Structure 1
Amino acid sequence: MLKAIIIKFIYFLFMIKVALVDDHQLFRKSLSLLLSSCEGISVVYDTSDGMAFLKYLEEAELDVLLLDLEMPIVHGSDVCKQAKFIDPDLKVIILSQLTSKEAVHQVMEIGANGYFTKNSSPDILEDAIRNVFDKDYYFDIALSTVIREALLWKRKRNTFSDTPSVHLTPREIQIIQLATKEKCSKEIADSLNISTRTVEKHRKHIMEKTDSKNFIGVILYALKSNLILLEDV
């Protein structure tokens, strides 16, 4: 009996712990049921109340938050910002029906790690969760054109003009370029013949240097500095 409890506890430690915050109960419960069938993923909390979630987060250990933008009382963007303040390592995927470049731009600005449209196939959601957990960012492939438009729109508005120039080492530039090809830290480590831990340290330093909330911010900086091309994203 004790052995079974220990095994269950160890298994839970290595699960990707997910929370759902969405004011549509049927959608939320359906999503929770779907994710419960995914190996290595556990929905540990769900609510329609953004404030209740933030209180929960202060005491909880969580890996990924699936968050609706359009919610009453507290808007999803405010929940995202406060959640990132409480736990900077939390990965946030925005769930929304909005697919305009302005909506995608807003997601980039609030520090979310990814964007998943509610019109997408539910099967893709598991990949989205694993991507933000392993690679720090994810955008629904159906939004690829819109994402490029949002990045181009951001450039045209000169929102990079006040971004200070920083020195990135050749190794750091390599890591950014590999990350844009959707490689996780282990895959990057294998490509460069270095340890995964070293890659994680580089990623952290790159984010600090570029003053980025997540790796989406790093990619935006790399685009501004012509370290990568828009076509690479």
Structure 2
Amino acid sequence: MPKPKILIVDDDANLRAGLKELFEQSDVAGTIFEAADGMEALTLDSRYLPDLILLDVGMPMMDGIEACSALKKRRNDLKIIMLTSHEDDRDIFAALAAGANGYCLKDADFNRLEAAVNAVICGDLWLDSSIAQKVLSALPTPKSKTNQRKAVYAELSDRETQVLHLIVDGFSNQQIAEKLEISKETVKTHVRHLMDKLAVSDRTQAAVKALRYGLVSSNEPHID
């Protein structure tokens, strides 16, 4: 499978250059393009047809949310991850309503951004855990939340619980394998089993459900 072409859109030239360098050193991306604002993003999208766009929320001329909406209307299959320095509720929900496939904080470790790109390219929705909690807080809370949490906990093995914590923290299967000192195939097996037990179809849904039912917390430390 060819590596995805990525367009980085941000009015901060230093941030664009830094991200481009990191992606060029990683195994995640193919060709990298840059744009300074939403208008230029529309032009370069037509010219290069990137597979994924990293889109800053706050930019001059055309902000990220407006650009996301315009880009999605032209190419609905285009993958877009919003980048932001702030966790503004209005921006989060506006971006998701505009069709964004992911929402990532700029101060996140690069490995989380790599995981976000991999997830979104594979068709998943990606939300940083703190963002996911804001989204979940707007949803009705199940009356039987405590009972459901106890039921799920009873089904998950200790290793599956560890893997679930790391999924919520944004780790890829390879990174989980290295952290837990097990094979990537074993991680895939644990992920498949815990998704079956949580009754979800992908990693993002597993993370969201884990946060919603209090199975894990985004404030908990990483597993060593």
Fold similarity call, TM over 0.5: yes
The question of whether the paired residues in 2 share the 8 Å contact of 1:21 and 1:47 is answered with yes
1:127 equivalent to 2:115? Answer yes
Counterpart in the other structure of 2:201: 179
| SS of the residue 1:95 aligns to | strand
1:134 offset after TM fit, Å?
A: 0.7
Q: Cα deviations across residues 107-159 of structure 1 (Å, max 9, x unaligned)?
A: 21111001001121122110000000113310112333222124459xxxxxx
| SS of the residue 2:5 aligns to | strand
1:231 equivalent to 2:219? Answer no
Counterpart in the other structure of 1:61: 49
The question of whether the paired residues in 2 share the 8 Å contact of 1:64 and 1:90 is answered with yes
Aligned identity (percent) is: 26
| Amino acid aligned to 2:59 | M
- Please give the alpha-carbon distance, in whole angstroms, between the structure 1 residues aligned to 2:50 and 2:214: 31
- Please give the alpha-carbon distance, in whole angstroms, between the structure 1 residues aligned to 2:62 and 2:89: 23
- Please give the alpha-carbon distance, in whole angstroms, between the structure 1 residues aligned to 2:40 and 2:75: 15
- Please give the alpha-carbon distance, in whole angstroms, between the structure 1 residues aligned to 2:122 and 2:28: 13
| SS of the residue 1:59 aligns to | helix
Residues 48-197 of structure 1 correspond to what in structure 2 (within 5 A)? 48-152=36-140, 177-179=199-201, 181-182=203-204
CA spacing shift, 1:55–1:232, aligned 2, 3 Å: farther
1:33 offset after TM fit, Å?
A: 0.6
Counterpart in the other structure of 1:17: 5
The alignment of Structure 1 onto Structure 2 pairs a total of residues equal to 159
CA spacing shift, 1:92–1:151, aligned 2, 3 Å: farther
The question of whether the paired residues in 1 share the 8 Å contact of 2:124 and 2:204 is answered with no
- Please give the alpha-carbon distance, in whole angstroms, between the structure 1 residues aligned to 2:6 and 2:68: 14
1:181 offset after TM fit, Å?
A: 4.0
**Which TM-score applies when normalising by structure 2?**
0.62
Counterpart in the other structure of 2:182: none
| Amino acid aligned to 1:34 | L
Q: Cα deviations across residues 194-228 of structure 1 (Å, max 9, x unaligned)?
A: xxxxxxxxxxxxxxxxxxxxxxxxx9xxx9xxxxx
Structure 1, unmatched stretches of 5+, are 1-12, 154-173, 184-218, 224-228
The question of whether the paired residues in 1 share the 8 Å contact of 2:68 and 2:95 is answered with no
| Amino acid aligned to 2:133 | T
1:97 offset after TM fit, Å?
A: 1.3
User: CA RMSD, aligned part only?
Assistant: 3.1
- Please give the alpha-carbon distance, in whole angstroms, between the structure 2 residues aligned to 1:83 and 1:44: 18
CA spacing shift, 1:45–1:137, aligned 2, 3 Å: same
**Which TM-score applies when normalising by structure 1?**
0.60
Counterpart in the other structure of 2:14: 26
The question of whether the paired residues in 2 share the 8 Å contact of 1:104 and 1:150 is answered with no
| SS of the residue 2:81 aligns to | strand
| SS of the residue 2:76 aligns to | coil
CA spacing shift, 1:123–1:152, aligned 2, 3 Å: same
| SS of the residue 2:204 aligns to | coil
